[in-house]
């Protein structure tokens, strides 16, 4: 292994089932491990957050999962040699996390159209994974989607309207590089909240492709707010997903935890 060849002492552990990564991470923190390296994607990272948040153990990333949006936000590539070199030479930095109840997330919490697609993918209702699966799910879901009426409260005040979706972003992208919040910064203590109004089906198909490049932000149906806390209320429970995993149901309050996670990122 490249890390061993570089003179690093390592212990390789494999996850056996969902939730096992949390247990392994807690054991590492208890043992005083200085760096815990996760080889996987955002879902695996999400599992280790409860153990690492607020601890002296730094997270290192080998981004070989499905989406890898946290690694993308930190400019850590999928090229193994470069990712390993970052683990060896990178700097330790602190980034924010999001929290909803007792659940933590690192990238984007999605509500509405995109969350329901993620829910279908998680439940095996979409035959593909990653960005291809999202696009397939979006095409199918557009036909039957009913936009919810939502009440949002945050530092910006209150929004009460029907929406296509609301994305609460700690990092720029989700779904494997879809730039939902191109200005989001995981170190500023704030969420970028992207609110897309209820629009026609034709408009959905014209706006969605622009998300890949962050160009949807200029559309008149899209607004961007910034807040450290977001309350989401709906007339009936609707699913919320984050880091590609189920986060909870509305009503739900999302809040930032500034500097909660130590992480290895590329040198300046």
- Mind listing the pLDDT tens digit for each residue in 154-192? 999 999 999 999 999 999 998 888 899 999 999 999 999
Locate tokens 């946290």: which residue? 70
Contacts of 14 (CB under 8 A, 6+ apart): none
> What's the rounded mean pLDDT across residues 25-48?
95
- Digit-coded pLDDT (tens) for 86-102: 999 999 999 999 999 99
Is the pLDDT assigned to residue 142 strictly greater than 70?
Answer: no
Radius of gyration of the chain (CA): 18
Q: How many of the other CB atoms lie within 10 Å of CB of 188?
A: 16
> What's the rounded mean pLDDT across residues 102-112?
94
Tokens of 92: 């330790």
pLDDT (0 to 100) of residue 26: 97
> What's the rounded mean pLDDT across residues 106-111?
94
Is the pLDDT assigned to residue 134 strictly greater than 90?
Answer: no
Check: CB of residue 10 under 8 Å from CB of residue 4.
yes
> What's the rounded mean pLDDT across residues 36-64?
95
Average pLDDT over the chain, rounded to an integer: 89
């Amino acid at each position: 292994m490249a890390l061993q060849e570089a003179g690093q002492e390592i212990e390789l552990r494999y996850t056996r089932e969902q939730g096992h990564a949390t247990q392994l991470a807690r054991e590492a923190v208890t043992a005083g491990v200085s760096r815990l390296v996760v080889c996987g994607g955002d879902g695996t990272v999400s599992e280790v957050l409860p153990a690492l948040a607020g601890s002296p153990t730094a997270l290192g990333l080998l981004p070989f999962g499905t989406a890898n949006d946290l690694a993308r936000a930190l400019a850590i590539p999928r090229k193994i040699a470069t990712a390993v070199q970052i683990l060896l030479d990178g700097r330790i930095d602190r980034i924010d996390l999001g929290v909803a109840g007792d659940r933590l997330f690192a990238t984007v919490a999605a509500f509405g159209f995109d969350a329901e697609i993620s829910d279908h993918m998680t439940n095996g209702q979409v035959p593909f994974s990653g960005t291809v699966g999202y696009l397939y799910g979006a095409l199918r879901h557009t036909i039957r989607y009913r936009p919810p009426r939502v009440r949002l409260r945050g530092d910006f005040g209150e929004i009460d309207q029907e929406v296509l979706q609301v994305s609460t972003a700690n990092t720029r992208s989700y779904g494997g590089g879809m730039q939902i919040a191109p200005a989001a910064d995981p170190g500023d203590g704030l969420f970028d909240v992207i609110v897309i109004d209820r629009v026609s089906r034709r408009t959905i198909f014209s706006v969605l492709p622009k998300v890949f490049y962050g160009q949807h932000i200029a559309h008149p149906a899209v607004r961007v707010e910034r807040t450290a806390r977001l309350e989401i209320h709906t007339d009936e429970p609707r699913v919320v997903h984050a880091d590609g995993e189920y986060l909870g149901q509305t009503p739900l309050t999302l809040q930032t935890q500034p500097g909660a996670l130590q992480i290895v990122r590329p040198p300046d």
